[in-house]
Amino acid sequence: MSTGKLWGIGLGPGDPELVTVKAARLIAEADVVAFHSARHGRSISRGIAAPYLRAGQLEEHLVYPVTTETTDHPGGYQGAIDEFYEQAAARLATHLAAGRTVALLAAGDPLFYSSYMHMHRRLADRFEAEIVPGITSVSAASAALGTPLVEGEQVLTVLPGTMPVDELTARLRDTDAAAIMKLGRTYPGVRQALSDSGRLADAYYVERASSTRQRVLAAADVDESEVPYFAITIVPGPTPTTPIRIGHGSGSATPTEENTTGPRATTPAVAQTADEMPGEVVVVGLGPGDTAWTTPQVTAALAEATDLVGYTTYVDRVPERLGQRRHASDNKVESERAAMALDLARRGARVAVVSSGDPGVFAMAAAVLEVSAEPQFKDVPVRVLPGMTAANAVASRVGAPLGHDYAMISLSDRLKPWDVVAQRLTAVAAADMAIAIYNPASSQRRWQVDAMRELLLAHRAPETPVVLGRDVGGPTESVRVTSLGELDASEVDMRTLLIIGASTTTAFDTADGTRVFTSRRYGG
């Protein structure tokens, strides 16, 4: 087997429209897309690349064990980081050895103060590797100022803000122009060096260059307690001949809602950068059983999730992904599951809560939304993505038994008393509507099917068609048509869905088996 190729993809400074044509094409074509983030889980690189990803791509989320925090690693900070890079390289090497192409995303340029270089050093001697350069933050910051960085024979010096103040001061004194990277907590020292070198009055601060949250200030006016890592200080060489654009929102990107789940547009919507995106909960429906019934929108959301939460049986239906955390639990802890998902999202995770069928039909959407109304979760975004219902899947196997008005009723009395179930069954039967019966029986709950049958026979003829669909779309699928009078409760379990016909429901035999439909017309 031939090995895959590693692509170091430069994404530019933040605006997705500044991603090169080549980078966009390679991101969409790659078998695996890899990206870094801190422990909060929000990746700036992935946020930039989001419009160019395709549904179902494998993703490798490489989470730094430490950024500015302390660590108890025996090798200290450097030991923890070196171990992380070795482990991350091993994860990517697994894909490359299997023949997959890997696009490793890098904000700015892959070889300019980028994490990509650490993977390149560890992988390029074993696998083919190629760099796709990107626009650097220095260029984006210069564009934000609207003034040249250097001209003629002037020298531009790029400096890390992590340098000692005295060395930074000396270098600032000796250069025509400067760009100071890696700010954040280093900004007090950077400002001191600018002042001591006599360059503070000529220096400018650019935050999140090219993004919708771009901010430009005089370096002397910056509140040092609010400086993010992704900011840069520029000391232009030439004296500016036009006014510097001081203020907020000067970026070229136009704010727009990012479509993270639907089909990718040919012309991408402008994405938010990751530090603008909080965690979120997406409640998804996998459909009844067949993977072909899972929508592309849901598949994309599952691929983008850092965490999966759900009933074990449903989580097990989702293919495992390297780096994606799975939180499976019993089927009787819906509220606890919802709270776990919301808490993970509140701390920055992108959580997919997994349901079978449609999440809004006797599934997790209502549970998540109910818990999300609690004050501690009010700022956590929640989306619901639909799925094919079990009722529609069973109906399709025999024709159109739900072709007219119908109701969906769960026979489970775990969350509501049986007298409420009985009242609803009676009302719907009296209204002459077809009924899709969910959760008809379980190993501990057997008597409800017979009780339902007796209630319905008070309003329906014994000849009323009944469809029994079990594990539809799954490996043990069975579908049978009987009548209400002959319905045998011993044939029904928790994996069975029943469709009870109305007075206008007809069953007839064909060469392909029994077909059932409920007419949309009433006689008269």
What is the pLDDT, as a whole number, of residue 333?
A: 79
Q: Which of 189, 190, 188 is nearest to 179 (CA)?
A: 190
As a whole number of angstroms, the distance between CA 321 and CA 282 comes to: 17
Q: Tell me the chain's radius of gyration from C-alpha atoms.
A: 30
Chosen CATH of 280-388 out of 2.120.10.30, 3.40.50.2300, 1.10.600.10, 3.40.1010.10: 3.40.1010.10
As a whole number of angstroms, the distance between CA 330 and CA 445 comes to: 17
Residue 475 vs residues 138, 151, 311, 471: alpha-carbon distances, Å:
57, 70, 19, 7
Mean pLDDT of the chain: 87
Residue 99 in this model has a pLDDT that exceeds 50: yes
Return the CATH architecture of domain 5-133: 3-Layer(aba) Sandwich (3.40)
What is the pLDDT, as a whole number, of residue 255?
A: 30
Model pLDDT for residues 312-327, shown as the tens digit of each residue: 889 989 988 877 888 8
Contact in structure between 34 and 68 (CB atoms under 8 Å) = no
Model pLDDT for residues 214-252, shown as the tens digit of each residue: 889 999 999 888 888 889 999 999 988 778 878 755 444
Same fold, 138-245 and 391-518: yes
**3-state SS string for 360-418:** CCCCHHHHHHHHHCCHHHCCCCEEEECCCCHHHHHHHHHEECCCCCEEEEECCCCCCCH
Task: Please give the average per-residue pLDDT across 327-348, as a whole number.
Answer: 85
Model pLDDT for residues 49-68, shown as the tens digit of each residue: 989 998 778 889 998 886 66
As a whole number of angstroms, the distance between CA 431 and CA 405 comes to: 10
What is the pLDDT, as a whole number, of residue 70?
A: 64
Residue 35 in this model has a pLDDT that exceeds 50: yes
Q: Flag the least confident range among 182-196, 319-333, 344-358, 465-479.
A: 319-333
Q: Domain extents for the chain?
A: 5-133, 138-245, 280-388, 391-518
Q: Which of 282, 331, 339, 280 is nearest to 310 (CA)?
A: 331
Q: Taking the alpha carbons of 85, 87, 93, 98 in that order, is the dihedral positive or negative?
A: negative
Q: Which of 323, 327, 276, 289 is nearest to 304 (CA)?
A: 323
Model pLDDT for residues 346-367, shown as the tens digit of each residue: 888 899 999 999 999 999 999 9
Q: Flag the least confident range among 41-50, 115-124, 323-332, 391-400.
A: 323-332
Reported as a pLDDT band with limits 50, 70 and 90, residue 457 is very high
Q: Amino acid letter at 515? A: R
Q: Which residue has the tokens 């494998």?
A: 58
Query: According to CATH, what is the number of the domain 391-518?
Result: 3.30.950.10
What is the pLDDT, as a whole number, of residue 459?
A: 95
Return the CATH architecture of domain 138-245: 2-Layer Sandwich (3.30)
Tokens matching residue 93:
């090497």
Model pLDDT for residues 481-495, shown as the tens digit of each residue: 999 999 999 899 888
Tokens matching residue 498:
């029943």
Q: Which of 114, 94, 77 is nearest to 1 (CA)?
A: 94
More confident position, 323 or 431:
431
Q: Amino acid letter at 126? A: R
DSSP 16-49: GGGS-HHHHHHHHH-SEEEEEE-TT---HHHHHH
Model pLDDT for residues 242-269, shown as the tens digit of each residue: 788 787 554 443 333 232 222 222 223 3
Q: 207 exposed, middle or buried (CB, 10 Å; 0-12, 13-18, 19+)?
A: buried
Residue 406 in this model has a pLDDT that exceeds 60: yes
What is the pLDDT, as a whole number, of residue 266?
A: 29
Q: How many residues does the chain have?
A: 524
Residue 46 vs residues 9, 55, 242: alpha-carbon distances, Å:
11, 14, 35
Model pLDDT for residues 105-117, shown as the tens digit of each residue: 999 999 998 989 9
Q: Amino acid letter at 279? A: G
Q: Which of 77, 276, 274 is nearest to 162 (CA)?
A: 77
As a whole number of angstroms, the distance between CA 202 and CA 206 comes to: 13
